[in-house]
Structure 1
């Protein structure tokens, strides 16, 4: 497990920093008391691996943490391999987003004069503070998401005019194994972002947990591709009832009550059309690649929680996982999805007491039957001002 070796600060730029062992990172600012902290820069907190410093020591230089003006000296994490946009957690509170790898070296800077060589231009990593909090020596450092959801590849494009070499953008695929109470549960093929939400949402959709208080501990190791979860109560995963399908090999089919929604939970056809338009414009990854599904929790005013993934089940699990972990209410709201509405998708939505499910795609016959049985208004082929309403149409009202 990667950890903090030093927390370093200086009151002037271009000089060595001193290890203060503990400090406070303010959101969208940086390390309080440090000269580089600034709300107007994307280089709020600098990171350097102790392994990089060790290379300088092996060359005979008498250097240590802070000598290259880094704020956080880290052991056990390949910082240079992180893409811009990746997020890392530090300790219990802090989230940093990587914004830059390396930097332009200032000619004749004080560090170069004092040390004789500077490694920050090539091996320093810079970040901004997404969520603030206290950091101290010994804190664990974990990759939360790689955030680099796409990859550029050289391909051959073939047309009637012939073939040509071009660059194309493809979506990234990631493998996440969930280990529950020491037992390997499942390996999900997914997009490499929001993996905590995916883990929580998957456990919720499989009825392995009921609320976030069921989770004693959850650690997502993006580098290892593993999410370790401990629950308060023991869970026997071997007795889960399953319903085989084309989209999810182990989707659970528990008996669940009908959706208990307020009678006034209704939406106009205009609101459905507007939500779907906003929804379709939300995913940049889909626009770039055409390779992901999207899901969103909404109210009649707009989108509340949005997620995307290479899998339609994963996208919905990420939405509900975030709602679970961040105490976002799902009852009496709408779910919008880009994918086919199968029975498993319908069950996920009904279990969270969401009364209206809207998709731009088609439902299956069992999806329609379950929607009718469980009191869910199911809307499919929502495109432009047209849509098909398959069940409980009274919640879809005409425009005034």
Structure 2
């Protein structure tokens, strides 16, 4: 399975959205250089309030560009970086990847998939009703999260729009993604 990076984003300040950049530099064990969520321990405010010593499994946030088409069809306008992601992808079914999958981004960087993004109410502050579009229920009543995946940077490097994404699945048995 392979795909491409369509946009990269980072923000030095706490803000829901992240401006697009020409490139971002991933730092092993930390995240995106210059991004407010980079660090070995949790940086998301709600998680820091609970336990600031927790390991940061949310160093980097990836969203599949295909989600934006679904949201447009439901009447929402969302572009890369709008939902706070660092890397927007195309051609890879991010939500179907198992825990521990390695995503090779461009020539150097490698991100290890940790889990699903568990979106918060800030999404509705961005566009009213958007949370119900990215978190719903399937036919069996199980929660379905579509707002991307979270990971840790295993190998650092520069990532740019247009870079390839190569997927390396972990040795089985595979464990489905859960919220992190």
Task: Specify if TM > 0.5.
Answer: yes
In the alignment, the residues of structure 2 paired with residue 132 and residue 13 of structure 1 have an alpha-carbon distance, to the nearest angstrom, of 23
Q: C-alpha deviations, 1:334-362, integer Å up to 9, x for none?
A: xxxxxxxxxxxxxxxxxxxxxxxxxxxxx
Question: Matched residue of 1:150: which SS?
Answer: coil
User: What is the deviation of 1:11?
Assistant: 2.4
| 2:49 corresponding residue in structure 1 | none
In the alignment, the residues of structure 2 paired with residue 151 and residue 93 of structure 1 have an alpha-carbon distance, to the nearest angstrom, of 25
| 1:38 corresponding residue in structure 2 | 39
User: What is the deviation of 1:122?
Assistant: 1.2
User: Higher strand share goes to which structure?
Assistant: 1
1:147 matches 2:170: yes
8 Å contact from structure 2 (residues 104, 166) kept in 1: yes
Question: Matched residue of 1:54: which SS?
Answer: helix
Q: C-alpha deviations, 1:120-161, integer Å up to 9, x for none?
A: 8812100100000000000000102x1151269xxxxxxxxx
* Equivalence map 1:182-201=2 (5 Å): none
| 2:106 corresponding residue in structure 1 | 91
Q: C-alpha deviations, 1:224-282, integer Å up to 9, x for none?
A: xxxxxxxxxxxxxxxxxxxxxxxxxxxxxxxxxxxxxxxxxxxxxxxxxxxxxxxxxxx
Q: Larger radius of gyration, structure 1 or 2?
A: 1
User: What is the deviation of 1:38?
Assistant: 1.4
RMSD: 1.9
Q: C-alpha deviations, 1:186-211, integer Å up to 9, x for none?
A: xxxxxxxxxxxxxxxxxxxxxxxxxx
8 Å contact from structure 2 (residues 99, 174) kept in 1: no
* Length-normalised TM-score, structure 1: 0.35
| 2:127 corresponding residue in structure 1 | 115
* Equivalence map 1:316-331=2 (5 Å): none
Name which of 46, 54, 67 aligns with 2:82.
67
Structure 1 pair 61–85 and aligned structure 2 pair: CA distance change class (3 A): same
User: What is the deviation of 1:106?
Assistant: 2.6
* Length-normalised TM-score, structure 2: 0.76
5+ residue gaps, structure 2, are: 42-55, 136-143, 176-180
Question: Matched residue of 1:56: which SS?
Answer: helix
4+ residue runs over 6 A deviation: none
User: Higher helix share goes to which structure?
Assistant: 1
User: What is the deviation of 1:14?
Assistant: 4.7
